[in-house]
Structure 1
Amino acid sequence: MPEPDSILEELGLTPVWRTRTASTIGAAESAAAEACPSVDVKAPKKEFEVISEPISEVSETPISLLDWDTLKARVANCTRCRLCEKRNHTVFGIGDEKASWMLVGEAPGANEDRLGEPFVGQAGKLLDNMLGAVGRTRENGIYIANVIKCRPPGNRDPQLDEVAQCEPYLKRQLAIIRPQLILALGRFAAQSLLKTDASISSLRTRVHQYEGVPVIVTYHPAYLLRNLPDKAKAWADLCRAQEIYQAMNH
């Protein structure tokens, strides 16, 4: 399997997208700040509204009231839609549970279903290198989750009823973590969060809001592996996210 640096070299992203160690995180953030244009955005961190959702059993505690551990257990045993029938593992999420950034993807793929963790394989390695370029890791200030917690058969798009049953889990994760910035990875995640059918190309170029929190839309890492010319656009999106976050905290 190629090393991550060789992947980035092939994408033409070196030396900018280079994985950083924990000891160089501070330096990476400073370097990223110099590389990206200044953005004057001030969006204070706000409380999330409690959102109601359908529940399968009247006797169950609503998802919008669950604490973190109970939410995780509810997801692990979920049978709210047909996707539970063929899954190997649910994919709850991974990262810093006090994260300032939350990354939201679409749904688990085959590797994620097998391992129970989001963004593994080559797409996951590319994502880790992208985050490392702005001084962030899965363990430090980042939490990663999907809209859908079980793999759709054949990696098809999730259906509307599946989204209706599963999306409340993500809403509760966002409400508990209360990130200062959300990065939507790919068309489906962006459209689900923002409740729009707009194209990703039009959504990318603007700063959106979810419950008062800035949302930056960018391409899914798996898409970038198949469409190398768009890697520069993804880097611009990541710079924009970094600059917005820094503007809110200075």
Structure 2
Amino acid sequence: MAAMPEPGYDGGVVTPPGEEAVMAAREAAASANSLDELRALLADFRGCNLRLTAKNMVFADGNPQARLMLVGEAPGRDEDIEGRPFVGRSGKLLDRMLAAIGLDRSSAYIANVIYWRPPGNRDPSDLEVSICRPFILRQIELVNPAVLMFLGNQPSKALVGRDAMAGIRKFRGRWRTFDIAGRPVPLMPTYHPAYLLRQPIEKRLAWRDFLEVKARLGEVG
């Protein structure tokens, strides 16, 4: 794999990587034969400027052998400090939602579509999403879950594309099919726990989505 130059600061302004970073990300992700290899490649990857301002890379939590994989948006402050996805208030809510369908972090695998916290919790740029996309796609392939859940708008937009552009309010709650190395996997998009903390009235809809996932996990054995 061609070495990526370290993104740096130029007069106090971060110099953004170009499209060569996206190509390097694709090459690096494709070369990973295990989750440990993928994590090591990400830790050494120099093509995303978000790593310059983040405290920690946030790779995953939970059981990589689990049948359910959840993919969230980008790390927040608490996740950046701990280096784990879904901690703090949103993580506690997610844990309660998983517990309500008989699961916990030992029976689910949790990742994010972005691996480093964007400064000020801003939305990641299109280029940052494009750079991280090959890694999360390879991560999903390596986990090879029976059922996928996307939490929030970012993973749906980044990994599904045009059909998700109308927003999570219209996209959630209906089963889709996600292709994992030629194998169709049921996908349920739903609201992000952080959104549910701001809009608790929507919890009833997310609850329906989690019940759908519970039923589907029973169907797929």
TM-score range, shorter chain: 0.7 to 0.9
Partner in structure 2 of residue 55 of structure 1: 24
Is 2:133–2:159's contact at 8 Å kept on the other side of the alignment? no
- State whether structure 2 residue 212 is matched by structure 1 residue 246: no
RMSD: 1.5
Matches of residues 122-141 of structure 1 in structure 2 within 5 Å?
122-140=89-107
Task: Tell me what 1:187 maps to.
Answer: 153
4+ runs of 1 displaced by more than 4 Å? none
Unpaired segments of 5 or more residues in structure 2?
A: 1-21
Partner of 1:23: none
How many equivalent pairs are there?
A: 193
For 1:246 and 1:155, the matched residues in 2 are separated by 37
Distance 2:38 2:167 in 1: 32
Q: 1:152 and 1:219 mapped to 2: Cα distance?
A: 20
Instruction: Compare the two structures and name the one with the higher strand fraction.
Output: 2
Deviations 1:32-75 (A, max 9, x none): xxxxxxxxxxxxxxxxxxxxx6116xxx9631131221111112
TM-score normalised to structure 1 length: 0.74
Equivalent in 204, 208, 215 of residue 172 of structure 2? 204
Letter in 1 for 2:75: P
- Percent pairwise identity: 40
Alignment of 1:160-179 (within 5 A): 160-179=126-145
Whole-angstrom distance in 2 between the partners of 1:154 and 1:61: 30
Q: Aligned partners of 1:126, 1:225: CA distance in 2, in Å? A: 8
* 8 Å Cα contact 1:89/1:150 also seen in 2: yes
**Structure 1: gaps spanning 5 or more residues:** 1-52
> Residue 195 of structure 1: CA displacement?
1.1
The answer to which structure, 1 or 2, has the higher relative contact order (CA under 8 A, 6+ apart) is 1
For residues 1-250 of structure 1, the aligned pairs below 5 Å read: 54-55=23-24, 62-66=28-32, 67-140=34-107, 142-196=108-162, 197-211=165-179, 212-249=184-221
Instruction: Give 1 or 2 for the bigger CA radius of gyration.
Output: 1
- With structure 2 as the length reference, what TM-score do the two structures score? 0.83
